[in-house]
Amino acid sequence: MIIGIAGGSGSGKTSLANTIINLIGKECATFIQYDSYYRDRSHIPFEQRGNINYDLLEAFESELLIYHLNELIKGRRIKKPIYDFKTHARKNKIEVIYPHDIIIVEGILIFCDKKLRNLMDLKIFLDIKADIRLYRRIMRDVKERKRSIDAIINQWLTTVKPMYDKFVAPTREYSDIIYNNDPTDDEIEFLIGKIKKSL
C-alpha cells in the first residue's frame, strides 16, 4: 500500500508520516521523502544554487522515484539518494531502503506528476494556513539548515508561496483525505483504522 502525503512546506507532512509509522510499526512501513529526489546541482557553482527555484516539478527527479517505488512494490530494495540542503546537492552516499507492506511518500508536489500519483492507494493533503507553515519553515531552516531569517523569508515570498498557490494547492482535488489543521487524535485513529482495513 502506497500512501502519499502532500501539502505546502511546513504543513506537517513528515510529522504525520512519522506518526503513522510509529502507530503502524516500523517493521511494517517504509518512509520516502520527495526531497531526497531533488536533482543534483553539484555541477553548478554554489553561489548560483541558492537562486534556483526548488518548488517546481522539474526540480525533482520524479522518474527515479517512480522507478524506485515500482522496485519496492516488486519486493526489491532500492538505493535512495541523500540530499544535502546546506549545499543544495546530493551527498556522495546513498541509503538502502527495504520493501514493506506500507510505503509512505511525502512531498510538496507528489500529486502533480500523474504517473507518480497513480501509484498511490491513499492520498492525503495537509491544507494548513500559510502563517503557520511559514513559522514552521523558519524554525526548521534556521535550526537544521543554518539559513538566515532574511534568506528564508525572501525565498518564501519569491518562490515558495507563489509556487504553492500555482502548483501545490490545486492538487487538493486529487486527495482522498484533506486536513485543514493538524490531525486530531480521533482523526489519526480513524486514519490508522482505514490503513489497516485496506491492508
Query: What are the chain's domains?
Result: 2-193 (3.40.50.300)
CB 133 within 8 A of CB 188: no
Tens digit of each residue's pLDDT, the chain (199 residues): 999 999 999 999 999 999 999 999 999 999 999 999 999 998 999 888 878 999 999 999 999 999 999 999 999 999 999 999 888 899 999 999 999 999 999 999 999 999 999 999 999 999 999 999 999 999 999 988 888 999 899 999 999 999 999 999 999 999 999 999 999 999 999 999 999 998 8
- Residue 16 in contact with residue 23, Cβ under 8 Å? no
Work out the end-to-end distance of the chain between its first and last CA atoms, rounded to an integer number of angstroms.
7
Q: Using the 8-state DSSP alphabet, how is residue 77 labeled?
A: -
Q: Rounded to whole angstroms, what are the CA distances from 139 to 24, 70, 122, 127, 142?
A: 28, 35, 30, 19, 6
